[in-house]
Structure 1
Amino acid sequence: MRQLLTTVLFFLLSGFICVHAQTGSIQGVVKDAKNGEELIGAIIKLQGTGLGAPSDAFGNYRIDNVKEGTYTVEVNSLSYTPKTIANITVTAGKTATVDVAMEQSTAQLAEVTITAKGNRETEQILFLDQKKAVIATQAIGAQELTRKGVSNAEGAVAKISGVSKRDGVKNVFVRGLGDRYNTTTLNGFAIPSEDPEFKNISLDFFTSDMIQSVNVNKVFTASMNGDVGGALININSKELVDDNALQIGISTGVNSQVIGSDFYLPDGMNELGYASASDGPRSRNGERYVNNYSFDTSLDPIQRKPLLNGGISFSGGSKFLDKHRFFVMGSMDNKYNYQEGVTRLITATNPENPFRDFDYQQSSRNASHMLAANLEFNFNPGQLHFNSLYLHTATAAAINFYGKETELFQVAEDYNSEGHIRRLQINDNTAFINQLIWNGNLSDRITYNVGAAVNNVIGQEPDRRIVMLPSIGDGRVQLGVGEGRAQRFNSKITETAVLPKANLQYSLSPDSEQLSYIEVGYDSRISFKDFSAPIYNLIWAGGQSTAPTFPLDDIRLDPVFNQENLANGDFLLEQFSDTYDVERMNHGAYVDLVHRFGNRLTLNAGLRADDIYTKINYSVNRGANVGSNTIDKFFLSPSFNTKYELNENNHIRTGVSRTYTLPQDKEISPFIYLGIDGNENGNPNLKVSTNYNFDLKWDHYLSPDEHLSVNAFYKHILDPIARVDQGNSAGLRTYENVSGHAVAAGIEVELRKSLMNLAEKHRINAGINASYIHTNVNLDPTFFVQNTSSTLEGAAPYILNADLTYNLVTEKNLNLTSALVLNYLSDKVHTIGTRGFNNLIEESITTLDFVTSLGVNDHLKFNLKARNLLNPAYKLTREGAGTDTDPQSVIIRSYKRGVLFDLGATYKF
């Protein structure tokens, strides 16, 4: 089937190449007629056609797919007089060169803002936006994502200065502050999380196929969500830029560690990548059975031949009725991964002798699906946008552990308390997002923006199967007897959120170029979340001596746990459920003032008021914890930002603000979650954190796409929240306000520089950003015996991102881009140790990727990615009691991810 699909696509592409060989191209440079400077963002169109393109940072433009004939070229650029050039002849297979010199004009080209759309996927346009902005902001667009081989929003944000990523943990840390301190939005609307473990939706939900750009705002204004301390991360979905577009893509690849592996997957995921497991036996009226073993998935994993990764994508759209636009896109991806490693747990009194010491093997499959559409209606004097997005991700993993566990395998004391644990797990998450936005002008000086979003998120973990089998020697194991030794766990979280918002902006100056206005706005988040976790214990009835035994390399559990043996009384089926629900009614209003004084200074002052109401009702841990918790608070969040232009190429920005951080839902619910690395439960007594934020940034613009920036920041956090060890044999971790205050301060440096540009054909560009982040929290000595102070959880003191890019463009339309991309993260605290435990440390890691793309003509492009070339070991260690030079740390977990190879092709029609 795969070979047939490849053959069909090859002939289709060959046919399209032949068809499009009958077209030519137009290219050139747009400059200022007076000073000769290249103009970025000029819009070049061919009259009478739907063809056009914007100029890049060097003033260059190129229009492809032009049929033979004679054309008139129309050029528009803000603050310049429109220009037309007639009688431009295009010949098939050749490129016509049309250079344009633009005359400055005092008249504003209002119509250009309606008919011309700047392409905010490009690095140059985003760079220009950042230069014009009053506050310091950073962005990464689709063009840069492609150049660096980034596959999703999580990888995109991790390329920004001051941002780090912990492997195996969803989402990112910004300036040393993790998930609870950050906020994620899509096109300006907040998005619920699909996972009860996290505040924010997983950023890897958003694949690069649907991303126009990702903005990271580390400096805050009144118009932003007040529940933020690290960054507000906004994902902008793709939209149609030209008058029409159509593109398809295919890809394949492999993880080096999958090759030759003994690969197994759990039953319960279909071929398309959707979970097919149910959440346990039920009667017709929905009542759960304990005398009917009608589970529809196997307790035994299924051996699979390691398969190649694969993906397909498409996007397309068109302008219609002369001024309206639609755009659709979709993708489907499938990836296989394999890893081997160790995982351990130790006591505070005897760290050299772990009470848990496992080797493990993990096979997994990751599937994702995306379908999106947006409509843009242009009316006079406004625009109506409708965005609809469907996202689905699923992961199936089969994990086998073998080794010592002195608590779980006490019955195997004669065999070093060794045993085997089988864990079969599927996570299936879906998001439906719909947004309606209306913006326009009420007068020459009053603009409005009104919108609403309705989001529905479903996160499922259907039929997680865990079975524990103590060793009986001679390569055999025996079914564990007792509660929790064989368990089928199900969970489902659903959240529906309605998010209306509106704002009015009044210009304080009749001059549209004078950036002075006052804005008032309102937004709210009304949401309802339900979490349920029906859990089944499979308890062998005859005692340990009669429990079945198995060869370690051939453990078959389905012949043991089935309806016949349940009816015979060989085992018991025990069922209970954990539940909680969350009601959230958050309302915010703000006033924001921006005023420009003279030609250099711009001030922004704002005040935001938030009325927060969150109520959690819970019945968890088999009814041991029943109750509710309410957050009912009112917050005022002031902000003050400045921008001072020393000259055209040197800008200084400052920012001061106060924000707050709410505990996550699961952090204030005592529900216990059983994780691979240990167990976690919440703390209903957590307080809200208050954040004081200070920023100072200098930007030096070297050229239209080169710049140097230096950014210093300081954060003072009252009642900081962190994950801590409870110091018990169950390995439980919880959340505490670990101190009265914490600080995070640092400096970020970023440089983008062109190293070579030979005859506009050979270009070498380099980019580097480096961060030093100092965090500190003084700890309560009552609980934190080993540590009187610590860095914040997840805060890497040193972060380095660097890339080196080579670009070759030939007269025959051959375009080659190759990039080396490096990332370094220093040691960081994973979990703060308490009650005699030292900190858990995630050790430093360096990754290196190679990405190359080859455009063989105007339509066909090939891509090759080789990621994680160094394949370093990821290590989680517990700090020892040794010296600074020899800490005698104990490895708690270690594994490698493998080298990932991907080959793809895209075709533009």
Structure 2
Amino acid sequence: MKHLFTVLALFVSALTMAQETKGSIVGTITDKEMNNDPLPFANVQIEGSTKGTTTDMDGLYELASVDPGTYTLVISFVGYETLKVPNVKVEAGKVTELNTGLGAGSVSLDEVVVTTTARRDSETALLLDQKKAVEIKTSIGAQELSRKGVSDVATAVTKTTGVSKQEGSGGIYVRGLGDRYNSTTMNGLPLPSNNPSRKNITLDIFSTDIVEYIGISKTFEYRNYGDFAGANIDISSRNYKGNGFLSFKVGMGGNTNALAQDKFYLQDGPNKIGFYNPSYPSDPLSAYNFTTSWDRQTSFPINNSFGLTGGESFDLGNEGRLSFFGSASFDNGYKFREGIARGAVSTQGIPRKDFTFDSYDYVTNTTLLGNVFYRINQKNTLNFNSLYINSTSQEHEEYSGVIDIFDNAPEGGGFVRRSTFDRTSLLVNQLLGDHKLSEKFEINWGLSYNKMNNVIPDRMQNTLVPIDNDNFDAGLQVSDLATSDNHRYYQNLNEDEFSANAEVSYNFSKDEDGYKGKATFGYSGRYKTVSFEATQFNFRINRNITQPQVFPDRLDDYFNQASLDAGYFEIVTFRGGEGTPNVLDPQTYDGVQLIQAGFGALEYKFSPKFTGMFGVRGEYIYQNIEWETSLDPNGDENDFDRFEIMPTTSLKYSLTEKQNLRFAASKTYTLPQFKERAPFQYEEVTQVYFGNPDLYPSTDYNVDLKWELFPTGEELISVTGFGKYIQNPINEVTVASATNDISYVNTGEKAIGIGGELEVRKNIFNFSKDELLKNNLSFGFNASYMYTNQDFDREKVVEETDLSVGFTNDEGRLTGASDLLINADISFLKEFSEDRNVQATVAYNYFSDRLYAIGTNNRGNLVDQAVGTLDFNLNTQLNKNIGISLKARNLLDPTIERIQDTQNVVVESYKKGLNFDLSLTYNF
């Protein structure tokens, strides 16, 4: 009815305001791909002229003051077929009404001619979806990612309100809540983790080339799994429906720190394309059979990228359409860092480990995506996605200084070298279906099989100490303090997961504006198996003979068969040396996780302004883990199961056609991860971690209140308040031990997080003379302020575990939480023609101090200091075939610094350098 009144108003306006010699064209454009909902921001133009307009939020348009005559009307929208409607007759003093729909496939109108296609991933389309939804949601699309020069999903989500990225990883924090509180899906189906220490897959292994948009749900939705408190990140892969295209991309770049090095060092063995996974020698203990060198190798640090993308569609019958899309890409990158690293700082502010370090990093990412979309007819579609990612990182680190102030190079002069190659191979297969059985009934379903393999093949570590601690000129020898000081390490993690979703929805209570009610019922389930094994070969140094001098650049002169024969060292595992029963049996843990869930929801439009959604989800969770590790060689197992009932509510009140007030509340839970529960010891140069089998889930309560205003289809102003209450929160803590190891415990009774968010997207100036060609300056800004607090209870930890923790404070902030997060960007766009444009964007990101680890035993917290970064991106389309992109990132190059706050000691400090990339895209 609202649309009818608007059209009539336009009709009357045209009659009363038009001159007798002029006429008008009015109408409504609907979206055939979205149940004929109104299609805003579609272009409507009279062919052969500059006269045109765009549809408003209700799909309405008006072409006023048109000379009488017969015209061809051209209607287009990004990602949809362009329609040409001929013989549109305009009469003086009258209004011509033309209503039609746009779709991704051909339509059965004789007057329509199909001309062009593109992707539908615009900022305006996503803003419209955000405005219409009952739930609170945020999305960032491929168009916005391109404008801001974002190349991976981890960086993409940090451009949204309340999200920050953990330095040195693809892990993210949402409203101060880290990895364990978030979840990751692709097209609504779960993704596996690629790191045994983490719940979620590292988001920076996903190239934005395969992304249509990324949805960030910071409020719980009944469709999502209940292991949630921060956000669900859903990656919507590209789904092509248009005519054929082929695009090739090539790029080159570099990091200023890496390019400034006389030589860039990496370990021997791994190749430059990332497909490398050797096993250890068949006879590793009785003879020296390792074939890769201990000595570092040189490389030339120039970044490269290549990409090929294409798609094609075919009509099948009157309504059917079969579409194919494929993408293949490879990119690599070099980085260099130098600075200081300190560990185990005492209450007197004295570090037990005190190093300067150099770190040489090399990463690769190979991505293959295939998509087949079959629209059987207007009511039934099938969608198959297959994604393969091979992501690798090489990190060659060299530390110099005090290895241990009490007994190992206590006066300095020590040297530690650690070379790690980490490879993740991920295969995702998904089959999705959407069936509109009638005007009232709809079924959506999805099946997926994911397989992930993560390997660390042949990590090498060497530790050298001064022969004479009082005279460094005497040279270095191999450290004999700990058996693991010199080792080679092999790790293999496999994760297989099956998952399924099925949902039935029923529309009811129809009136002249459509259905007021919708009931939804569904099932989702996932079955995951995890298999982890690790073997470390330690070179146990013989203390009973005089060791020779060793040179860091010639380690192969010492680690060889001759030295083994001479008795300088023997090769052992944690079980012992050659002849020990089962000596080559690895450390292992194996896990099974099963989640079965049923859900239901009722959505009802109580009035034209007020809509409510009330849902509930029930989940049965079972988790079992068994292990055999160096901390527990005899092995053991542990399991738990529980049933969770999780209600959720979303309310939306439309204050005006452009303003919404929203409220959301829910209950969820947080599971511990397999590695957090397995008593497996993982050693880094300055820190040791191990799991806690007594860890158990947390319970979470979430509430949000949001006001939002959409001044135009491209603009947004919103203010959000939120609160989190977590029972039995899980944290990483330093346990009471001589080596200050870190484990995981339920640290107290509760934790809270309270905050506010502000987001603004605004066009500052619009210089456009032609309504169809943009020439504007736009601004984006979002900020989050958070207060977090949790209590720490030593007695609770002692009662529930075998561990002892002496918290420095009785309460403190949540780990990973910054008080203030800011994102801002300003963009200029100039369109010279449909195929020629230039766009420049400057983007700034800031996070205030955030807690990295909780202080214990009168030592201060470890705190990451505030950092602001500035990026610049320039995109230009020279013609319909050629595009050029220039990216300059981290222009401010701030110092990345971590301190121990009470003692005010810097425990880590370095700079990342500037990154520059230039790429060329050619569209065939």
Task: Give the TM-score category using the shorter length.
Answer: 0.7 to 0.9
SS at match of 2:675: helix
- Given that 2:105 and 2:241 are in contact with CA atoms closer than 8 Å, whether structure 1 keeps it comes out as no
Following superposition, the deviation at residue 548 of structure 1 comes to: 2.5
CA distance in 1, matches of 2:915, 2:59: 37
- Per-residue CA distance 1:65-114 (angstroms, 9 max, x = gap): xxxxxx97664899xxx9853389xxxxxxxxxxxx99475xx9597799
Following superposition, the deviation at residue 568 of structure 1 comes to: 4.6
1:479 partner letter: V
SS at match of 2:275: coil
Aligned to 2:477: 478
- Per-residue CA distance 1:689-726 (angstroms, 9 max, x = gap): 11111110001111111110001001111001111122
The reply to whether residue 358 of structure 1 matches residue 358 of structure 2 is no
Following superposition, the deviation at residue 601 of structure 1 comes to: 0.8
Following superposition, the deviation at residue 46 of structure 1 comes to: 13
CA distance in 2, matches of 1:203, 1:54: 36
Ranges in structure 1 where 5+ consecutive residues have no aligned partner: 1-30, 48-52, 62-70, 89-100, 284-288, 882-888
CA distance in 1, matches of 2:642, 2:508: 34
The reply to whether residue 595 of structure 1 matches residue 604 of structure 2 is yes
1:269 partner letter: P
1:591 partner letter: G
Aligned to 1:235: 235
2:613 partner letter: N
- Given that 2:747 and 2:794 are in contact with CA atoms closer than 8 Å, whether structure 1 keeps it comes out as no
Pairwise mapping of residues 299-338 of structure 1 onto structure 2 (< 5 A)? 299-304=294-299, 306-322=300-316, 323-338=321-336
CA distance in 1, matches of 2:56, 2:919: 26
Give the TM-score of the pair, scaled to structure 1. Answer: 0.86
CA distance in 1, matches of 2:54, 2:238: 17
Closer/same/farther in 2, CA of residues 455 and 114 from structure 1, 3 Å limit: farther
Corresponding residue to 1:640 among 643, 646, 649: 649
Aligned to 2:20: none
- Given that 1:268 and 1:426 are in contact with CA atoms closer than 8 Å, whether structure 2 keeps it comes out as no
Aligned to 2:371: 374
1:434 partner letter: N
- Given that 2:29 and 2:39 are in contact with CA atoms closer than 8 Å, whether structure 1 keeps it comes out as no
- Per-residue CA distance 1:192-242 (angstroms, 9 max, x = gap): 101101000110111111111100001112111111000011000112142
SS at match of 1:508: strand
CA distance in 1, matches of 2:464, 2:852: 30
Following superposition, the deviation at residue 243 of structure 1 comes to: 1.8
Closer/same/farther in 2, CA of residues 872 and 815 from structure 1, 3 Å limit: same
- Per-residue CA distance 1:25-46 (angstroms, 9 max, x = gap): xxxxxx9827999962538899
The reply to whether residue 425 of structure 1 matches residue 425 of structure 2 is no
- Given that 1:281 and 1:292 are in contact with CA atoms closer than 8 Å, whether structure 2 keeps it comes out as no
Following superposition, the deviation at residue 406 of structure 1 comes to: 2.3
Aligned to 1:829: 851
- Given that 1:76 and 1:83 are in contact with CA atoms closer than 8 Å, whether structure 2 keeps it comes out as yes
Closer/same/farther in 2, CA of residues 313 and 46 from structure 1, 3 Å limit: farther
SS at match of 1:810: strand
Aligned to 2:131: 131
Aligned to 1:875: 897
CA distance in 1, matches of 2:229, 2:568: 55
Aligned to 1:864: 886
Aligned to 2:919: 904
2:132 partner letter: K
Pairwise mapping of residues 528-677 of structure 1 onto structure 2 (< 5 A)? 528-541=529-542, 543=544, 546-551=546-551, 554-576=552-574, 577-621=586-630, 623-624=632-633, 626-677=635-686
SS at match of 1:474: helix
Aligned to 2:453: 458
- Given that 2:403 and 2:409 are in contact with CA atoms closer than 8 Å, whether structure 1 keeps it comes out as no
1:587 partner letter: Q
The reply to whether residue 467 of structure 1 matches residue 462 of structure 2 is yes
Closer/same/farther in 2, CA of residues 741 and 403 from structure 1, 3 Å limit: same
- Given that 2:723 and 2:753 are in contact with CA atoms closer than 8 Å, whether structure 1 keeps it comes out as yes
Closer/same/farther in 2, CA of residues 216 and 811 from structure 1, 3 Å limit: closer
The reply to whether residue 296 of structure 1 matches residue 274 of structure 2 is no
- Per-residue CA distance 1:317-372 (angstroms, 9 max, x = gap): 11113411010001000111111011002443321x21211000011110010001
- Given that 1:118 and 1:125 are in contact with CA atoms closer than 8 Å, whether structure 2 keeps it comes out as no
CA distance in 1, matches of 2:312, 2:780: 35
CA distance in 2, matches of 1:640, 1:58: 27
CA distance in 2, matches of 1:520, 1:36: 32
CA distance in 1, matches of 2:203, 2:250: 23
- Per-residue CA distance 1:116-164 (angstroms, 9 max, x = gap): 9994421111111111100110000111111111111100111110111
- Given that 1:580 and 1:617 are in contact with CA atoms closer than 8 Å, whether structure 2 keeps it comes out as yes
CA distance in 2, matches of 1:164, 1:32: 48
- Given that 2:189 and 2:499 are in contact with CA atoms closer than 8 Å, whether structure 1 keeps it comes out as yes
Aligned to 2:779: 766
Closer/same/farther in 2, CA of residues 676 and 753 from structure 1, 3 Å limit: farther
- Given that 2:242 and 2:323 are in contact with CA atoms closer than 8 Å, whether structure 1 keeps it comes out as no
- Given that 2:313 and 2:324 are in contact with CA atoms closer than 8 Å, whether structure 1 keeps it comes out as yes
1:533 partner letter: A
Following superposition, the deviation at residue 418 of structure 1 comes to: 3.5
Following superposition, the deviation at residue 169 of structure 1 comes to: 3.4
Give % identity.
33
CA distance in 2, matches of 1:386, 1:669: 36
Closer/same/farther in 2, CA of residues 46 and 333 from structure 1, 3 Å limit: farther
CA distance in 2, matches of 1:625, 1:872: 49
- Given that 1:752 and 1:765 are in contact with CA atoms closer than 8 Å, whether structure 2 keeps it comes out as yes
SS at match of 1:484: helix
CA distance in 1, matches of 2:97, 2:104: 16
Aligned to 1:22: none
- Given that 1:212 and 1:238 are in contact with CA atoms closer than 8 Å, whether structure 2 keeps it comes out as yes
- Given that 2:274 and 2:390 are in contact with CA atoms closer than 8 Å, whether structure 1 keeps it comes out as no
Following superposition, the deviation at residue 632 of structure 1 comes to: 0.6
- Given that 2:296 and 2:553 are in contact with CA atoms closer than 8 Å, whether structure 1 keeps it comes out as no
- Given that 2:104 and 2:242 are in contact with CA atoms closer than 8 Å, whether structure 1 keeps it comes out as no
Following superposition, the deviation at residue 176 of structure 1 comes to: 0.8
Closer/same/farther in 2, CA of residues 856 and 75 from structure 1, 3 Å limit: closer
Closer/same/farther in 2, CA of residues 834 and 654 from structure 1, 3 Å limit: same
CA distance in 1, matches of 2:235, 2:640: 28
- Given that 1:41 and 1:118 are in contact with CA atoms closer than 8 Å, whether structure 2 keeps it comes out as no
CA distance in 2, matches of 1:58, 1:549: 80
SS at match of 2:200: coil
Following superposition, the deviation at residue 678 of structure 1 comes to: 1.5
- Given that 2:28 and 2:59 are in contact with CA atoms closer than 8 Å, whether structure 1 keeps it comes out as no
2:368 partner letter: L
- Given that 2:395 and 2:419 are in contact with CA atoms closer than 8 Å, whether structure 1 keeps it comes out as yes
Closer/same/farther in 2, CA of residues 333 and 59 from structure 1, 3 Å limit: farther
Aligned to 2:495: 495
CA distance in 2, matches of 1:801, 1:865: 18
1:528 partner letter: T
Closer/same/farther in 2, CA of residues 125 and 625 from structure 1, 3 Å limit: farther
1:747 partner letter: G
- Given that 2:402 and 2:408 are in contact with CA atoms closer than 8 Å, whether structure 1 keeps it comes out as no
Closer/same/farther in 2, CA of residues 765 and 56 from structure 1, 3 Å limit: farther
SS at match of 1:271: coil
The reply to whether residue 895 of structure 1 matches residue 910 of structure 2 is yes
Pairwise mapping of residues 103-182 of structure 1 onto structure 2 (< 5 A)? 103=97, 119-182=119-182
CA distance in 1, matches of 2:862, 2:437: 57
Following superposition, the deviation at residue 667 of structure 1 comes to: 1.1
Closer/same/farther in 2, CA of residues 45 and 153 from structure 1, 3 Å limit: farther
Q: Give the stretch that moved more between structures: 486-495 or 756-765.
A: 756-765
Pairwise mapping of residues 159-238 of structure 1 onto structure 2 (< 5 A)? 159-238=159-238
CA distance in 1, matches of 2:381, 2:123: 26
CA distance in 2, matches of 1:641, 1:35: 30
The reply to whether residue 842 of structure 1 matches residue 842 of structure 2 is no
Following superposition, the deviation at residue 618 of structure 1 comes to: 0.9
